[in-house]
C-alpha cells in the first residue's frame, strides 16, 4: 500500500495549488471587472453632470438646441460624438487627433495637480514640467541657445538648492495658470512676475487698456495698485532690481504709459510716479 499511495501524494499536491490559483485569479478578475464597471458608470455620471450643469459654450449650444427642438440634449451630444467618430474613420487624421488628445489630457491633469496645494508631489511635478518645457524648446530651437550657457541653465533648473524650477514656476507659470485656468487674480502674485512677461501680456504694443478693464474688476485693480505701493515702499522684502522693474512695468500698464517710459523708470527708480 505504501508503494501505491506514494505516487498519488504528489498528484494531490499539484491539484490543490492549481485550484487555489484558479479561485484567486477568478476572484481578482471579478474585482477588476467590477471596478472597471464602476469607473464606467462614474464616467457616464460625469458626462450627465457636464451636459445638464455645465457652463461651457458647448453646454449653452446644447441647451439652446433643446429649447428650440424640444428634444433632449443627450440626443444631440451622442449624435455629435457619432458624426465625429465617423469623420475620423473616413479621414486620415485619426492618428493626429489621437496624438493630440494623448498630449492634451496629461497636460490638463498636470495643470490640475499644479494648482492643487494639497497635492504631495507638487514640487516634483513643477520641476519635471519646467525641465521638459525647457528641453523641448532647446531641441526645437538649438540656434537660439549659447552652448556655454546651456549647461548652466540645466544645472539651475536641476539643482534643488537653487530652486530654479520653483522660481520659474512662481514668477512665470503660476500667474498664467491662475488667471486663465482658475480665472482668479492675485495682486500679490503678480508683483513677483518677471517684467518682460508683464510687458508681453499687458504691454502697450500687445493689448489695450480696455483688456484690463474687461478682465479685472475695479476692486482688483485697486488691490493691484495697493500691492504696487507696498512693493515700492518695502525695498527690504523685494530686491531692488525686481521691485523697481516690476513696479515700473505695472505702473506703465495701469497709467497707459508706453513701454519706453517703463524702461526709463527702471533705470531711475527714484523718479517713479505715484498713482
pTM of the model: 0.31
CB-count exposure of residue 133 (10 Å: 0-12, 13-18, 19+)? middle
CA distance 114 to 24: 39
pLDDT tens-place string over residues 160-187: 766 777 777 777 777 777 766 666 666 6
The pLDDT score that the predictor gives to residue 57 is: 80
Mean pLDDT within 115-121: 69
- Percent of the chain having pLDDT more than 70? 40
Mean pLDDT within 86-103: 76
Average of per-residue pLDDT values in the chain:
64
| Spatial CB neighbours of 63, under 8 Å, sequence gap ≥ 6 | 73
pLDDT exceeds cutoff 60 at 262: no
- Percent of the chain having pLDDT more than 90? 0
pLDDT exceeds cutoff 80 at 79: yes
Region of poorest pLDDT, from 26-30, 130-134, 138-142, 218-222: 26-30
Classify each residue of 181-219 as buried b or exposed e, where b means 16 or more C-beta atoms within 10 Å of its C-beta.
eeeebbbebbbbbbbebbbebbbbeeeeeeebeeebeee
Banded pLDDT at 84 (limits 50, 70, 90): confident
The pLDDT score that the predictor gives to residue 144 is: 65
Which of 75-84, 116-125, 141-150, 214-223 holds the top average pLDDT?
A: 75-84
CA distance 275 to 251: 8
Banded pLDDT at 188 (limits 50, 70, 90): low
Q: H helices of the chain, where?
A: 2-5, 8-53, 57-69, 73-90, 94-114, 122-140, 150-158, 164-168, 174-180, 187-190, 195-202, 209-215, 218-233, 240-254, 259-267
Banded pLDDT at 258 (limits 50, 70, 90): very low
Q: Could you tell me which of 270, 225, 251 has the C-alpha nearest to residue 261?
A: 251
Classify each residue of 102-116 as buried b or exposed e, where b means 16 or more C-beta atoms within 10 Å of its C-beta.
eeeeeeeeebebbee
CB-count exposure of residue 25 (10 Å: 0-12, 13-18, 19+)? exposed
Amino acid at each position: 500500500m505504501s508503494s501505491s499511495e506514494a505516487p498519488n501524494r504528489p498528484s494531490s499536491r499539484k491539484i490543490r495549488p492549481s485550484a487555489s490559483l484558479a479561485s484567486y485569479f477568478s476572484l481578482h478578475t471579478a474585482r477588476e471587472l467590477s471596478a472597471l464597471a464602476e469607473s464606467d458608470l462614474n464616467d457616464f455620471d460625469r458626462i450627465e453632470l457636464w451636459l445638464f450643469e455645465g457652463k461651457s459654450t458647448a453646454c449653452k449650444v446644447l441647451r439652446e438646441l433643446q429649447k428650440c427642438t424640444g428634444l433632449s440634449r443627450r440626443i444631440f451630444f451622442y449624435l455629435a460624438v457619432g458624426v465625429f467618430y465617423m469623420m475620423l474613420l473616413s479621414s486620415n487624421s485619426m492618428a493626429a487627433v489621437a496624438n493630440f488628445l494623448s498630449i492634451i489630457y496629461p497636460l490638463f491633469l498636470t495643470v490640475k495637480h499644479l494648482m492643487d496645494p494639497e497635492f504631495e508631489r507638487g514640487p516634483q511635478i513643477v520641476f519635471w514640467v519646467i525641465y521638459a518645457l525647457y528641453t523641448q524648446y532647446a531641441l526645437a530651437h538649438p540656434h537660439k541657445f549659447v552652448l556655454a550657457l546651456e549647461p548652466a541653465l540645466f544645472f539651475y533648473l536641476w539643482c534643488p538648492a537653487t530652486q530654479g524650477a520653483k522660481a520659474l514656476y512662481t514668477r512665470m507659470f503660476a500667474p498664467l495658470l491662475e488667471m486663465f485656468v482658475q480665472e482668479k487674480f492675485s495682486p500679490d502674485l503678480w508683483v513677483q512676475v518677471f517684467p518682460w512677461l508683464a510687458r508681453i501680456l499687458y504691454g502697450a504694443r500687445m493689448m489695450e487698456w480696455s483688456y484690463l478693464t474687461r478682465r479685472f474688476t475695479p476692486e482688483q485693480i485697486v488691490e493691484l495698485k495697493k500691492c504696487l505701493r507696498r512693493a515700492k515702499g518695502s525695498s527690504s522684502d523685494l530686491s531692488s532690481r525686481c521691485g523697481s522693474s516690476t513696479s515700473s512695468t505695472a505702473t506703465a500698464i495701469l497709467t497707459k504709459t508706453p513701454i519706453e517710459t517703463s524702461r526709463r523708470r527702471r533705470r531711475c527708480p527714484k523718479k517713479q510716479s505715484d498713482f
